[in-house]
Structure 1
Amino acid sequence: MNQAVLQPVADKTQVIRTVVRTHSQYDDSELLPTALLQEDLGIDSIMLAAIVADLNKIFAPSKQLRPDEFDTLDSLIRKFASLELPQIRPVDLPQEPERHRPQQEGGAAKANETDAALTMRDFVGDSSPDPFAKTERFAAFLHSRQQQGLFWYGMASKGLCSNRAVIHDEYEGRDREFLLFASNNYLGLANEPRVLEAIIRTTRSHGATNTGSRLIGGTTDLHKELEYRLAQLKGREDCIVFPSGYSANLGAISALLGPNDLAITDMYNHMSIQDGCKLSGAQKRIFAHNDMASLEEVLQRSQDRRGGRMIVVDGVFSMHGDIVKLPELVRLAKHYGARVLVDDAHSTGVLGASGSGTTEHFGMKGEADLEVGTMSKALGGQGGFIAGDKRVIDYLRFYANSYVFAATIPAPVAAGLIESISLMQTEPQRLAALWDNIRYLKSRLDALGFNTEHSDSAIIPVVIGNEQRAMELGRSVRRRGMFCQTVVFPGVAVGDARLRISVMSSHTREDLDEAVRILREAAEENGLPLNTAGGAHGHA
């Protein structure tokens, strides 16, 4: 190591606060020691994990500290400041981006707010006395990103979307056909003529919608049949259907947990799980992503507390594509007396011999206490569901507010979903074609040296790291006619930006080869290193 670039670090507290500022984008004056990391500062589990990882690198403790150990800024400072910090450290501490904090003149946002160093994180946790002030500053940021062609979010498609889709390109002012890798229609059921016919037929017999919540006039025979079919698919006693997968997580977690309870969550869980935990009022402990040693530490430390404990995890992690280590997780849950909720949003229709989800994938049907799912992905419809023991489902029908006080999915949608489940079960070639495509595309991208992490599902990430570079890569990809998702904060932590590719059974081998060509050319255009001889590289 070059000693010329070493310097002493005298104030451990300032080092810690610098790392927090780097990730959170707060000014030092805003970081009050008593501030709750999540509730007051809006530092979510992904960001907290990144902060703790950096501090572990800097302080190099004999035993790595974990994100779930901290709930306030003061607890973070006290724990790390109690460690020995070498007198000399390399000048490689996380560098704070030059923050152009909004300087307002006459209510207008200054132009420097559009600087490339800004991220969407800069518009969260605002301390202005006007809660709308952040919206004006964000407007300038959004306008800049759109002018540069970096933000393509929310552009409208026209007609059916399969392996290709016609999308209105707002930058070119015309409709364009894109090679589509941004759809979760994994089995092609959203466009299946038999599904569409079931929806049309039921619209004529049942009307467009149900005009009420399930408990008060909104239940039809088709809702009951759908719940029965989903329970059968999952191998459970009963099932309850919600307006969406998001509301299913909100309803289940907030109904089953309260202030005396503990929610134990993976740091990469979907936002619907995080919001369900907040809404419940339960305390929350985070364990390192898919790290069963970290989970066991949380379970051990919480054994003597009063109240219940529930481990809540994704089956497939939506921005990473990897699968939860369910066998070990369930073993730990049983040993320590905790319940388990698995969110199968990206697992239903994808994992398992019949596509029923994560538990089938591991040969563990019925061993998770609750299985949550969405029907807007592989099943090609709309709505969410929870499957489990009948007594638990009956309880949720009266205590899950997002079920009790919301109108449910229309009967025609339920009819389409019933048909989708039937087709998924009677046409296994759909699932086989999906997995052929997943394995082929991932192997091609890995051979080129793209960082696809540990994906083992229909979601394949291309990890870049830097947000600006990821957006530029996404722009280059779209310019060449491929539409996939560019994921930045809050979808992932600042510094972990990526492209997210969704594979479908309807993609042809030619589609996959074209996607590989486009990604390779876009990477070369943006100076991202590739290894055409094989292997993998880290974050670009």
Structure 2
Amino acid sequence: MTTPADETRTKTVLGVIAEHTGYSLEELGEDAVLEDELGIDSLMREWVLADLETRFQLPKSLDREAATVGDIVAGVSALVATMDGIPPATMPDLPAAEGHAVGAASGVCAASGDGETTSDGDTTKPGETMKDFGPDGDADLFAKAARFADHRRRRETDQLYWYGMPSSGRLTGRGVYHDMQVGRSAEYLVFASNNYLGLANDPRVADAIADAARSFGATNTGSRIIGGTTELHLELERRLAEFKGRDACIVFPGGYSANLGTISALAGPADHVLSDSLNHMSLVDGAQLAGARRLSFAHNNMQALEQRLQQVAERPGGTLVAVDGVFSMHGDVCPLPELVELTRRYGARLLVDDAHSTGVLGSTGSGTAEHFGMKGEVDLEVGTMSKALAGVGGFVVGEAEVINYLRYYAHSYVFAATTPAPMVAGLIASLEILQKEPALLEGLWRNIRRLRDRLRADGFDLENSESAILPVVVGDEDVALRFGREVRARGMFCQTVVYPGVPIGQARLRISVGVEHTDADLDAAADIVRDSADAIGFDRSGVAA
């Protein structure tokens, strides 16, 4: 029999879910599937569960594998039933039919277990991840930093956290890094760089930067709109627009700021931003900064996207669908033809982030639209110039009147210092080389195929990678960190990606392939990954032995 207390508790749980996801209470049926139906990925689910644990003062963590809204309600009820009385829990102050979105959870779940040594000598706490050290409501805002410092020291003692190792000299297919944990420098095979076309090491690019520094000085010390625009900036924008086959281009100081500024300039509290559940954080943060109603949809699932579009179709305001062209931690490509068709049918606008597509996809390397034979058919295309184009900055291309609007309303353009003129000169040189030397793109794809085929032949799960990013899926975070440590010990430098880079349970090695890798480099990398997996007892189907 349902009691008034049960009804109040259920309403509170639904209110917390609505607060974090942007759904109204009426949209949160208990049978609704979190990811496939509602588009609530594991990161957003973590925010919800952590907040519920704090509000209800639960004695232990909720089930992180909860699949439906009803599973979360039942989990809270089960834990409350074990307590003396019902702890206080405040119902979020939500409009009855609208819901609203907020940022990260106000609480985090407690770290599991006491410090102990694992079977291979590690001293880390089992199950403890970076998600355990977010905002927690402590009166001292710095308290979480002290707790994380202990966690980081344990990881570094076990040589599991090695992020930020400094390099010296040029990084090609090989490079020298200083391992601060062991106090020595060594040469590694470099598979952690986004220098896909090797242009960061091209002497023509370096010469262009040096010549421009002598002509224009180190920088312009101003924003683009007031004193920071040079003739080089305008030339770069002209060339990028032409390269992408669009009317106009605006250059931002960075790719992250391009997404922040563009989304927050175009969308507001009365609008909707629909995001793929695996989007880059810059897209997520741009929607949050806009204050728009944010809804996610299951990764590359066009049925789920159409459900979202149907949900918002009757509501006032505009709708922006934002996706990655190439998903940065997964390497797969968005289904652009279906995205264009759906957004047009429902009157929405489409933004594609081509950070890892520019210089990689398409017959000339211009990105996702060219890859699908759809140049000019995406409303807005964002690019990052710190990867294949080997510089610093971001850009957006689209219709001229929209681009000009961004010049006055995108805060990360209006109020940010300009990209230095010497760097702009280097970017122009990189773009010229890419357009004149198709052999670079051909060589990159030859290398991608060689290493991808080797890793798949050895039984590794690379998901649906169709780019220069090869994800070796592991799953468990501790296993992935040990895997990365073994790879590094054998002389290969690649990224070990854990939360928040990927959701909990999707940890992986992220291998980036470049044109500068030789056949010997690629074969050695495949051998190292295979031997490292065997050394830690990793089942190549994705399950730790």
TM-score over 0.5 (shorter chain): yes
TM-fit CA distance, 1:471: 0.3
TM-fit CA distance, 1:300: 1.1
Cα pair 2:124 2:158 within 8 Å, conserved: no
Aligned to 1:452: 462
SS at match of 1:152: coil
Query: In the alignment, does 2:505 pair up with 1:525?
Result: no
Aligned residues: 478
What code does the residue aligned with 2:314 have?
A: D
**Counterpart Cα distance in 2 of 1:176 and 1:277:** 42
Q: 1:64 to 1:77 in 2, by over 3 A?
A: closer
Q: 1:462 to 1:514 in 2, by over 3 A?
A: same
1:406 corresponds, among 382, 397, 416, to 416
**Counterpart Cα distance in 1 of 2:68 and 2:385:** 46
Aligned to 1:345: 355
**Counterpart Cα distance in 2 of 1:485 and 1:79:** 34
TM-fit CA distance, 1:66: 2.7
Q: 1:147 to 1:81 in 2, by over 3 A?
A: closer
SS at match of 2:467: coil
1:99 corresponds, among 103, 111, 123, to 111
Aligned to 1:218: 228
SS at match of 1:213: coil
Q: 1:267 to 1:237 in 2, by over 3 A?
A: same
Aligned to 1:313: 323
Q: 1:113 to 1:163 in 2, by over 3 A?
A: closer
Cα pair 1:319 1:461 within 8 Å, conserved: yes
**Counterpart Cα distance in 2 of 1:35 and 1:204:** 60
Encode CA deviations 1:465-507: one digit per residue, 9 max, x unaligned: 0000000000000000000000000000111100000000110
Cα pair 2:123 2:158 within 8 Å, conserved: no
TM-fit CA distance, 1:65: 3.3
TM-fit CA distance, 1:84: 11
Aligned to 2:452: 442
Cα pair 1:215 1:404 within 8 Å, conserved: yes
**Counterpart Cα distance in 2 of 1:477 and 1:141:** 22
**Counterpart Cα distance in 1 of 2:285 and 2:22:** 11
Aligned to 2:501: 491
Gaps of 5+ in 2: 53-65, 76-108, 116-121
Query: In the alignment, does 2:479 pair up with 1:469?
Result: yes
Aligned to 1:163: 173
1:33 corresponds, among 13, 26, 34, to 13
Encode CA deviations 1:1-52: one digit per residue, 9 max, x unaligned: xxxxxxxxx99x99xx9xxxxxxxxxxxxx9636645976xx999xxxxxx9
Equivalent residue runs for 1:181-192 within 5 Å:
181-192=191-202
1:80 corresponds, among 59, 62, 70, to 70
**Counterpart Cα distance in 2 of 1:64 and 1:436:** 36
TM-fit CA distance, 1:250: 0.1
Aligned to 1:145: 155
SS at match of 1:372: strand
Q: 1:78 to 1:373 in 2, by over 3 A?
A: closer
Cα pair 1:187 1:504 within 8 Å, conserved: yes
Query: In the alignment, does 2:39 pair up with 1:67?
Result: yes
Equivalent residue runs for 1:220-259 within 5 Å:
220-259=230-269
**Counterpart Cα distance in 1 of 2:22 and 2:534:** 34
Cα pair 2:255 2:395 within 8 Å, conserved: yes
Cα pair 1:250 1:276 within 8 Å, conserved: yes
SS at match of 1:345: coil
Equivalent residue runs for 1:284-433 within 5 Å:
284-433=294-443
What code does the residue aligned with 2:70 have?
A: F
**Counterpart Cα distance in 2 of 1:157 and 1:344:** 27
TM-fit CA distance, 1:81: 6.1
Q: TM-score normalised to the size of structure 2? A: 0.82
TM-fit CA distance, 1:125: 3.4
**Counterpart Cα distance in 2 of 1:82 and 1:381:** 46
Q: 1:477 to 1:64 in 2, by over 3 A?
A: closer
| Percent identity (aligned) | 55
Encode CA deviations 1:390-439: one digit per residue, 9 max, x unaligned: 00000000000000000011000000000000000100000000000111
Aligned to 2:55: none
Cα pair 1:223 1:411 within 8 Å, conserved: yes
Q: 1:82 to 1:397 in 2, by over 3 A?
A: closer
TM-fit CA distance, 1:78: 9.3
TM-fit CA distance, 1:100: 4.1
SS at match of 1:364: coil
Cα pair 2:36 2:304 within 8 Å, conserved: no
What code does the residue aligned with 2:149 have?
A: A
Cα pair 1:181 1:503 within 8 Å, conserved: yes
**Counterpart Cα distance in 1 of 2:340 and 2:208:** 39
Cα pair 1:101 1:113 within 8 Å, conserved: no
**Counterpart Cα distance in 2 of 1:487 and 1:176:** 22
**Counterpart Cα distance in 1 of 2:263 and 2:230:** 26
TM-fit CA distance, 1:64: 5.7
TM-fit CA distance, 1:102: 9.9
Q: 1:304 to 1:219 in 2, by over 3 A?
A: same
Encode CA deviations 1:338-358: one digit per residue, 9 max, x unaligned: 000000000000000000000
**Counterpart Cα distance in 1 of 2:383 and 2:429:** 17
What code does the residue aligned with 1:146 have?
A: E
TM-fit CA distance, 1:235: 0.4
What code does the residue aligned with 2:355 have?
A: A
Encode CA deviations 1:135-183: one digit per residue, 9 max, x unaligned: 0000000011011100110110001111011000112211110000000
Q: TM-score normalised to the size of structure 1? A: 0.83
**Counterpart Cα distance in 2 of 1:173 and 1:78:** 49
Aligned to 1:121: 131
Q: 1:210 to 1:293 in 2, by over 3 A?
A: same
Cα pair 1:98 1:117 within 8 Å, conserved: no
Aligned to 2:100: none
Q: 1:60 to 1:210 in 2, by over 3 A?
A: closer
Cα pair 1:460 1:502 within 8 Å, conserved: yes
Q: 1:409 to 1:36 in 2, by over 3 A?
A: farther
Aligned to 1:505: 515
SS at match of 1:165: strand
SS at match of 2:538: coil
Aligned to 2:59: none
Gaps of 5+ in 1: 1-9, 18-30, 46-51, 86-96, 104-111, 531-536
**Counterpart Cα distance in 2 of 1:448 and 1:123:** 37
1:281 corresponds, among 272, 291, 296, to 291
TM-fit CA distance, 1:99: 3.4
Aligned to 1:28: none
TM-fit CA distance, 1:372: 0.3
Q: 1:113 to 1:247 in 2, by over 3 A?
A: farther
